[in-house]
Amino acid sequence: MAEKPKFGESLSFRAKALSALTNSIGVYALCDLDNVPIYIGQSTDGIRSRVRRHLTSARSDVIANRQIDVWEIAAVKAWPVESAHKINALENGLFHHFHVQSPLMNGAVLASDTPFEFSECEQTVMVLNDQEIARRKEPEARLPRQIQHYLRLVDHFLNVKSSKEMAVALDVHFARLKKYHEQFLDTV
């Protein structure tokens, strides 16, 4: 089992890493511990500012609705743009590109009627260090966390917001839970 970091070490690493993230307008992907995008978003007031709000749960519906678990976010990919009129098409295209590979937890399926040419991200920023990622990926750490998050999401669905979008998030989290359960059983 990887050594647990000292209190606050992960937070200070994340804060320093975020300061390197572009604050241009554009589109970003929040990626999990396996570097798989789990959420695609856009920002017209700066990618760094928007991502920081996600990671601190400040004014972030996707966090407030428990659609994603900040604990799982290890990297941020950024696609800055020169003008705001390109953002929606880029977000829609990236959503559909990544959603096919692994279901996203955006809560809604974005429009796909805009022509889109996929391009690699301009910037990737790791918001957790390699040691912390390894520790969190251990089945005995990840499975209990996913169980807790799934239970919070179910409670939120039952008592706060039972929408089609939240049902999609439940499905995605259940599939992740099943995967982590299988990984856990492979280690015992």
- Model confidence pTM above 0.75: yes
User: What is the Cα–Cα distance from 66 to 79, expressed in whole angstroms?
Assistant: 25
pLDDT of residue 183: 93
Per-residue pLDDT band for 110 (boundaries 50, 70, 90) equals low
φ, ψ of residue 40 to 5 degrees: the values are -115, 130
Of the pLDDT bands very low, low, confident and very high (cuts 50, 70, 90), residue 105 is confident
Question: Which residues, at least 6 apart from 162, have a Cβ–Cβ distance to it below 8 Å?
Answer: none
What percentage of the chain has pLDDT greater than the value 90? 55
For residue 154, being part of any structural domain is answered with: no
**Residue 177, domain member (yes or no):** no
Section 150-170 average pLDDT: 88
Query: Is the confidence at residue 7, as pLDDT, over 80?
Result: no
Domain CATH number, residue 55: 3.40.1440.10
Residue 185 lies in a domain: no
Judge whether 58 lies within some domain: yes
Q: How many domains does the chain have?
A: 1
pLDDT for res 164: 85
Question: Within a domain: residue 168?
Answer: no
Segment 116-156, tens digit of pLDDT: 777 899 999 999 999 999 999 999 999 999 999 999 999 98
Show the domain range for 129: 9-135
Q: At 47, list the tokens.
A: 């990618």
**Does residue 129 sit within a domain?**
yes
